[in-house]
Structure 1
């Protein structure tokens, strides 16, 4: 009897998790439609971007996607952030298009870009910059997320890189910026779970000049493009 009750609760939970996303999708679509009717293209664009991000973040189609899909997600994310903080920062790309069909864990870039905005550029009033580059380095692929924000001290940088190398990065200590390290840990662990120990994150930073996060990945192409 207890087992049947637990199965019923699990089924109800699964059904609820299906209902809520569809309600939000439909609501966002309705808002976008009304915005277009009211000749408010900016609101329509923001609503569409949010809907795309939401669909992408909860998709169950697989935890490995192409870099092209990740970058498309970032385009929508940056559109929203630049709308929220007009004139505060710009977004730049330097992409080797030949590598766009290579594989990366879903939602690798967005947490790191968000980290850069809130911990690197948070104190800037204007003149901030987030840049993403994609290139091949020997047998690896390197995605680099850079900001021109506050940077970090050498001791903190060395500590983070050491913990990332050991794959043991945990929540930040009381003397570190609130929330820093959590996104790094999450992304680093997922990369290594999917691709193995040689891959993951490497940080470089200078106080007052900014931070670079390098994502080291294998050169693995999507089967659809091979």
Structure 2
């Protein structure tokens, strides 16, 4: 009987699935990635109610930067998946800011249980961490970053119980706005 909530959930699902299934080039605008993340967060709010808080902070002017799709959403989803029932109130914070010269830093931080030490060591050594379908998203993101950004990007994960921080350091790229979403370096 809660028609308004059902309507909001249907709109969030529609937006989320359009993004996932829509035709995209290699890169998307950060604002599109964040819109997808917002839809995902809204969907999860219906599922988990008040079990988590999400904060998203973006430095003004970065919304038009180009990023690989599903970079941020992958780590946000992992935070929920691996922590939501293990901490009283999961807090996930996403921050996007310009740093250094021509770099963008994306940080996903949570107060969950953290990564197991052996998983972190394998990530650091560039070893496979897939086990029974687990951590496929992290492997995928790491490989896409390597292929598309090469040595100009970095991914770092620091984790202890109560504080996990995933940091992506990416080159700034401004979209040309063409149909293939090709990008040009520079600001």
TM-score (normalised: structure 1): 0.72
Alpha-carbon distance in 1 for matches of 2:70, 2:115: 24
Change (3 A) 1:222 1:76: same
Q: Max radius of gyration: which structure?
A: 1
1:181 aligns with: 135
CA RMSD of aligned residues (A): 2.1
Distance in 2, Cα, partners of 1:200 & 1:72 = 24
Q: Secondary structure at the match of 2:7?
A: helix
2:5 aligned partner: 42
Contact 1:116 1:130 in 2 (8 A): yes
Equivalent residue runs for 1:10-89 within 5 Å: 40-89=3-52
Report the alpha carbon displacement of residue 202 of structure 1 after superposing the two structures with TM. 0.8
Q: Does 1 or 2 have the higher relative contact order (CA < 8 Å, sep 6+)? A: 2
Alpha-carbon distance in structure 2 between the residues aligned to 1:94 and 1:185: 25
Query: 1-side partners of 2:85 and 2:25: how far apart?
Result: 33
Q: Summarize the alignment of residues 189-204 of structure 1 with structure 2, pairs less than 5 Å apart.
A: 189-204=143-158
Report the number of matched residues: 178
Q: Could you list the runs of 4 or more consecutive aligned residues of structure 1 that deviate by over 6 angstroms after TM superposition? A: none
Structure 2's unaligned 5+ residue stretches are 178-182
Larger proportion of helix: 1
**Maintained 8 Å contact 2:122/2:128:** no
Aligned to 1:100, the other structure's residue is in SS state coil
Alpha-carbon deviation of 1:143? 0.5
Structure-2 residue corresponding to 1:96: 59
**Counterpart check, 1:215 vs 2:177:** no
In structure 1, list runs of 5 or more residues that go unmatched: 1-37, 173-177
Name the SS for the 1:196 alignment partner: helix
